[in-house]
Structure formats: C-alpha cells, structure tokens
C-alpha cells in the first residue's frame, strides 16, 4: 500500500435517487444539446440571404445556451460523485 492511501477511506457509491436524477438531468441536457446542433446544422443551407443567415445565427445562440446547460448538468453530476467518492 502506498503512503497516499494510508488513513483514507473510500465509500462505495450506492445508487440513490439523487444520483439517478442528476444523471437523468445530464442525459436530457445532452439530448437537447444534440437536437440544437442538428437544428443549427439544418439552417446552414445554400440560401445565402440575410434572413437565412440571421436565422442561422439565432440558432447558433440557442445552441450556445443549450451547451452551457448541458455542461452545468454534467458538472453538477460530477461534483456530486466527487463529494460522495472523495469527500470534496
């Protein structure tokens, strides 16, 4: 056993509703992110008009917002796992 492991105890993570909900929130947020990616991608067409470009830009802004939501959900889940498994 190395010196790093001396005096430390690690709790095994058990499945709880809190972790399940955080994971579910993360998966839903990622699904919404993927949908937003496809929605923005569909607006990249050969219609080079200003109206189409603005719609594409708007979809890009929405994509950015959904991405931030997904990353926040990921961080909430990972932080809960760290608190459970490492105590911080």
Q: Is 42 inside any structural domain?
A: yes
On whether the CB atoms of residues 9 and 70 are closer than 8 A, the answer is no
pLDDT at 7: 53
Domain span at residue 47 reads 17-86
The per-residue pLDDT string of the chain (88 residues; one tens digit each, 9 = 90 and over) reads 444 445 555 455 555 659 999 999 999 999 999 999 999 999 999 999 999 999 999 999 999 999 999 999 999 999 999 999 998 7
Q: Is 32 inside any structural domain?
A: yes
How many domains are contained in the chain? 1
3-state secondary structure of 60: helix
On whether the CB atoms of residues 56 and 42 are closer than 8 A, the answer is no
| pTM for the whole structure | 0.76
């Amino acid at each position: 056993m190395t010196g790093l492991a001396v005096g430390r105890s690690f709790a095994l993570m058990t499945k709880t509703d809190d972790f399940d909900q955080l994971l579910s929130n993360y998966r839903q947020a990622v699904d919404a992110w993927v949908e937003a990616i496809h929605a923005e991608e569909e607006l990249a067409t050969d219609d080079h008009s200003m109206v189409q470009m603005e719609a594409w830009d708007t979809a890009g802004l929405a994509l950015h917002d959904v991405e931030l939501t997904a990353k926040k959900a990921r961080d909430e889940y990972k932080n809960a796992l760290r608190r459970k498994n490492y105590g911080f």
